[in-house]
């Protein structure tokens, strides 16, 4: 990726020695009850999580659906959250937007100009013109949904497509399209950790594109495969997203300490796997 997001992310990875991306997915049913009693509980909770984990992560990823579901209170809490993010940690807005050109332009302005996100997730189902307004922001990251972590991902993403006389699953065609769209160097792909077989195929098509990897933790994704097959030649190139396992590690007074411990455990597990991959690579003649 080129421009501000790439540089900000790379600096955050170096500073924290981490590929962990914490999803700030606020759930009023899971936030500690004593925190939930506060009028500003959304901003307070997220600020507490960030205070506890900022030196352990490379990115924060608010999923906009959790805030939209809470109405005006949710939007206010989202803005409070964004204002509290440390300046040296990038924000990836998980919005999964994708619509016709004029609407996509409005979505892109909302995410990048109004909310000030450093990156966003987009849905390519409607084709290039639905993604192009996001790509036009060359200093922002655009992560295209490719092989997602949900159980129904195979319903469409695995459907065979005829490409150059060969039948390939649709998600591979999305990866190829994303490589072609990467004219400004700001495109990434979303590949879920619950889809271990997809990583090798995606990396063969898109060796240099960064991958956002959801599905680790509560969804039970395969972290070892995600790191072994998803990391690029430099041993980075992936953002391993974890939300519930970090945010709700404890519902007690130790919620911040528990979140920090969970984030540190994930970071260390990823780094151990990165080290093992490097050692293996050096052993190959």
Segment 155-165, tens digit of pLDDT: 999 999 987 78
Ranking 13-27, 172-186, 188-202 by mean pLDDT, the lowest is 188-202
Q: Which of 6, 8, 61, 96 is catalytic?
A: 96
Q: What is the CATH number of the domain that holds 33?
A: 3.20.20.70
Supply 83's token pair: 């204002």
- Domain encompassing residue 172: 3-283
Is 147 a catalytic site residue?
no
Of 149, 164, 269, 275, nearest in space to 214 by CA: 149
Total domains present in the chain: 1
| Residues contacting residue 237 through CB under 8 Å, at least 6 positions apart | 208, 209, 210, 211, 230, 231
Say which residue, 181 or 285, is predicted with more confidence.
Answer: 181
Report the distance separating Cα 118 and Cα 270, nearest Å: 24
Confirm whether pTM is higher than 0.85: yes
What average pLDDT does range 112-122 have in this prediction?
A: 98
Supply 207's token pair: 């060796």
What average pLDDT does range 17-30 have in this prediction?
A: 97
What average pLDDT does range 192-197 have in this prediction?
A: 86
* Sole residue written with tokens 């655009």: 142
């Amino acid at each position: 990726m080129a421009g501000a997001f790439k540089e900000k992310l790379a600096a955050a990875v170096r500073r924290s020695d981490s590929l962990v991306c914490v999803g700030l997915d606020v759930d009023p049913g899971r936030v500690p009850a004593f925190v939930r009693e506060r009028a500003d509980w959304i901003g307070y909770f997220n600020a507490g999580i960030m205070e506890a984990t900022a030196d352990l992560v490379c990115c924060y990823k608010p999923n906009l659906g959790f805030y939209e579901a809470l109405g005006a209170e949710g939007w206010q809490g989202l803005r409070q959250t964004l204002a509290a993010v440390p300046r040296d940690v990038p924000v990836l807005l998980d919005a999964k937007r994708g619509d016709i050109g004029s609407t996509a332009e409005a979505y892109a302005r909302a995410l990048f100009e109004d909310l000030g996100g450093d990156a966003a997730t987009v849905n390519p189902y409607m084709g290039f013109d639905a993604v192009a307004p996001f790509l036009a922001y060359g200093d922002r990251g655009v992560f295209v949904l490719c092989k997602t972590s949900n159980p129904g991902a195979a319903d469409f993403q695995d459907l065979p497509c005829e490409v150059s006389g060969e039948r390939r699953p649709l998600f591979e065609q999305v990866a190829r399209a994303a490589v072609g769209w990467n004219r400004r160097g700001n495109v990434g792909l979303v590949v879920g950790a619950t889809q271990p077989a997809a990583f090798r195929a995606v990396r063969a098509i898109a060796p240099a594109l960064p991958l956002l990897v959801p599905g680790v933790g509560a969804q039970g994704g395969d972290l070892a495969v995600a790191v072994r097959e998803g990391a690029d030649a430099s041993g980075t190139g992936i953002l391993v997203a974890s939300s519930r396992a970090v945010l709700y590690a404890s519902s007690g007074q130790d919620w911040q300490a528990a979140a920090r411990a969970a984030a540190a455990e994930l970071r260390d597990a990823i780094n151990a796997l990165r080290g093992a991959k490097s050692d293996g690579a050096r052993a190959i003649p």
